Amino acid sequence: MSQQIVVDEANLRGQGRNLESIGESFQQVVEELKARLAALEPEGDPPWGDDDLGEKFGVVYEGLRDGMKESMDSLAKRLGEVGQKVQRMADNHAANEADTVDRMRALGDRTRGAGDGIRAMSRPQL
């Protein structure tokens, strides 16, 4: 017993575009967040001070901030890439379906041709 898989190529393409758009929107939000964080940190003079507690806070904060910047940029990029790949998947599926239909038609034409040839043969005389 086989199951049928139905692929809505147009919907798949559309969802891929949506995912790509989400990646672009996410990147814009990340850029805004980075700009706001930079505005809170004047060059050379961290807002948390340079006393012992401020230095400890700064080490932790800067590590988290820098890691967040890197990971969020990567996430935005990956979302866009996945969206592009989903769209390519829809295109590949459509091309495969068209190729399969063409091959099945060609096979049907050859089968009909062979059947006509067999019918045209004469039976052996007994």
Q: Is residue 41 a part of any domain in this protein? A: yes
- The Cα–Cα gap between 74 and 71 comes to 5
- The Cα–Cα gap between 27 and 32 comes to 9
Buried b (16+ CB within 10 A) or exposed e, 67-91: eeeeebeeebeebbeebeebbeebe
Q: Say if residues 85 and 15 touch (Cβ distance below 8 Å).
A: no
Q: Is residue 101 a part of any domain in this protein? A: no
Number of domains the chain contains: 1
Structural domain boundaries enclosing 15: 1-50
- Looking at per-residue pLDDT, the higher value among 26 and 124 belongs to 26
> Does residue 98 carry a pLDDT above 80?
yes
pLDDT tens readout for residues 102-114: 999 988 888 877 7
- Is pTM beyond 0.85? Reply is no
Q: Is residue 81 a part of any domain in this protein? A: no
Q: Is residue 38 a part of any domain in this protein? A: yes
- The Cα–Cα gap between 48 and 60 comes to 12
Burial (CB count <10 Å: 0-12, 13-18, 19+), residue 22:
middle
